[in-house]
Structure 1
Amino acid sequence: MLRYILKKSQLSIFLVSTTVILLCAYSSSWATNFEIDLNGFRLQQFLSVVEPVLGPSLETIEGEQIIANVYPIDDDAFMVVGHSPMFPNNISMLQLTGKTDKAFPFKGLKLGDGMSKAVNLLGEPDRVQQDTARGVTNFVFEDRNYTLEFDGQDRLHSIQIFTTAELMTEVDDPSNHWNLFKDALVEKNIPELLDMMKPDVEIYKWGEVLAISKPFKKFVADPDKKFISALIGSNFSVFKQIETDEPEMSMRIAENVGVGFVYKFPNGKILDEIVFFPFNGQYRVYEIQFRE
């Protein structure tokens, strides 16, 4: 019990030190150093994918900018999944803390790795923050959306990735998303198509809502058959619609989502529209609406 109380104290402080960053927008051009995956989960996935994998939350910690739930990985490690009150259904922060062999590596690093290995793989941080009260050291990178925490023995103790305004709004090239999407459909390139989906994409088909229903890494390895069929199936799919019709494009502004593009099929027998919004440097599919 004492071990968990200590961890909870560490967690609270680590969250406070980073929540201010969550809503900040960087002034630079699109940052290629952003990371969106941690331990199989992806930022902006639906929160509903978490508990079927990690089990019930041990505790909920509520802050002004973020609400965080703590989930056990094993006796010596836990995962924190946070969401913004503005976006209560989406993961806006992921944190892995402790020591475990059950977690996926992060950029070649595992919990327990030495500080020198982190520097070799990631480069020197922009700031090193010492927390003498807790006996930990934080690495802060100004142009990245993650932070690292090291224990008193300079071993990697915690990794956190978080959503920024830039992650949700900036794109490299706003003009090429439709052609890239079409090419992947024609080639039936499933990994490429799944990477073109926003993590919270929804496909509305005949009264059913299809979504990424498990951690992103697991979904890519074993995607839902109905989801894939809606994209590239031999009948009544996005692929079949674009074989015969070119859509009409217009811009769309959605509250708390931003500026996107909608592709409508006014004469289509299969699709009504496909909507794209920015995420992680490019426009990605946010909604697909089939005709009823």
Structure 2
Amino acid sequence: MATVKRSARTLKVAPVLALKGLKKRYGGKLVLDGINLSLAEHEVVCLIGASGSGKSTLLRCADLLEPIDAGQISLESERVAFEDRSADATRRKLGIVFQGFNLFPHLTVLENVALAPRVALGLTQVAAERRAKELLKSLGLAEKAREYPDRLSGGQQQRVAIARALATEPKVLLLDEITSALDPVLVAEVLETLRSLALSGMTMLIATHEMAFAADVADRICYLEDGRLIEEGTPQKIFGAPRDPRTKEFLRRVRSISAPGAKLRAGSRVKRTVRAKR
């Protein structure tokens, strides 16, 4: 599998998404413990860690689907919060895709993708469907536009979910272990879709168990454990020479990372050609 090549580009100083000191509790359990994380425009950041480390909760809080107990979330330098009246407008700038496809079974693929631009952005049906058709074509699903979700494979349904998340033209795309519910045979087609998005310059925060994929596409890797950001760095540093013993132990347990991690060298990984911003 060829590595995606992207031309190096200096990332903006001001992050498009910034999370500062995030804390989140469920009952008496602290599931996010002072997370600090930011994404520059066009950057791809992968979250890794064992199940229960806080990756999914972090994404849900970043998307304002869950209130935080402490900390600050900023989008394009504007502070936002779950309870703000502007929260819905903020959510429209963030696309999120979950493990479950969550497609409306009574709507066609085209209708599923066109719904958000109509409802959230106020586009006409014609304009929304035009946008939906363009997205489906770009993701290799043009011929499935009139099908219903139950006629699609799991991989195809997940790509429709990605198209739906992109339909509002978000500033940042959040992805929560979206291959976890798929048959291994179908994982590759979804990961290839994400590689294409990375190639196009989409800003993404991805929680994943696919270590080789993370090594391939990420500008930065963040290792989470017990709700804390333990270590972050380039794929070469995290997979090739992690500093924290907890990171080392996690990677030791993930046998699939040994080969790709060992082969990473500075300058050998992802290079993107970033599109001009619309």
TM class by smaller structure = under 0.3
Give 1 or 2 for the bigger CA radius of gyration. 1
Q: TM-score, normalised by structure 2?
A: 0.28
Bigger fraction of residues in helix = 2
- Kindly indicate whether structure 1 or structure 2 has the higher relative contact order, using CA contacts under 8 Å at least 6 residues apart: 2
